[in-house]
Amino acid sequence: MHTDIEEILISEEQIHQRAKELGEMISKDYEGKRPILIGLLKGSVPFLAELMKHITVDLEIDFMDVSSYEGTESTGDVRINKDLENSVKDDDLIIVEDIIDTGKTLKKVIEILYSKGAKSVKVATLLDKPEGRITSDIEGDYVGFTVPNCFLVGFGLDYNQKYRNLPYVGILKKECY
Ligand code: IMP
Ligand code: MG
């Protein structure tokens, strides 16, 4: 275990097992369709890679980079740093996120995707932190794990761009931030 980690909250095995279950659910729900997975950079990358292996319908992937976080505090400010490569008009989209906290990022991204003419927009997230929510109408459709309101890193989640490569989700030691 990394020396900056207080405790492993979710192991690599648990993540792999859950990604398989979610992939199977998505495969059933999207039978006969060809969804586009919209990965939100950069935190969703490991989860998207794990999840897509278990989706059996044809799909496409595309990425957006939006940011609303600086350090451990939300600025409440959502910027688009990188937009989608292809049109999503009349497409079925599944946003892939690392974690839903306040819900502000997703609310904004969902609005943007519908304004681009998406037919449907669902959300797959590795983690959900419901205690952090300030927009009550935002929920994950495919949720890996519900987690407590503490600062987590690993499996894509970072603190100042560090720890994304950890193969598990862990609680960062207080003295590290
Ligand atoms: P929201 O708009 O507050 O829901 O922000 C979601 C984004 O905040 C996620 O995509 C993460 O990038 C970041 N975030 C929220 N909680 C954590 C955490 O515990 N660790 C690392 N990043 C987090
Ligand atoms: Mg993020």
pLDDT in tens, 89-145: 999 999 999 999 999 889 989 999 999 999 999 999 999 999 999 887 889 999 999
Can you tell me the mean pLDDT for 48-52?
A: 98
Asked whether the beta carbons of 42 and 67 are under 8 A apart, the reply is no
Determine if ligand 1 sits within 6 Å of the CB of residue 74.
yes
Is 165 a residue whose pLDDT tops 80? Answer: yes
Query: Residue 107's closest CA among 85, 134, 89, 128?
Result: 134
The residue whose CA is least distant from atom 11 of ligand 1 is 99
Alpha helices (H) along the chain: 12-29, 45-52, 104-115
Fold (CATH) for 12-147: Rossmann fold (3.40.50)
Determine if ligand 1 sits within 6 Å of the CB of residue 125.
no
**pLDDT on residue 70:** 53
Which of 91, 98, 101, 128 is catalytic? The answer is 101
101 has catalytic annotation: yes
**pLDDT on residue 137:** 84
Confidence of residue 69 (pLDDT cuts 50, 70, 90): low
Q: For residues 35 and 93, what is the distance between their CA atoms, to the nearest angstrom?
A: 6
The reported pTM is 0.94
Closest ligand 1 atom to the C-alpha of 78? 2
Domain boundaries, the chain: 12-147
Per-residue model confidence as pLDDT tens digits over 129-160 = 999 998 878 899 999 999 999 999 999 999 99
**pLDDT on residue 104:** 87
137 DSSP 8-state letter: T
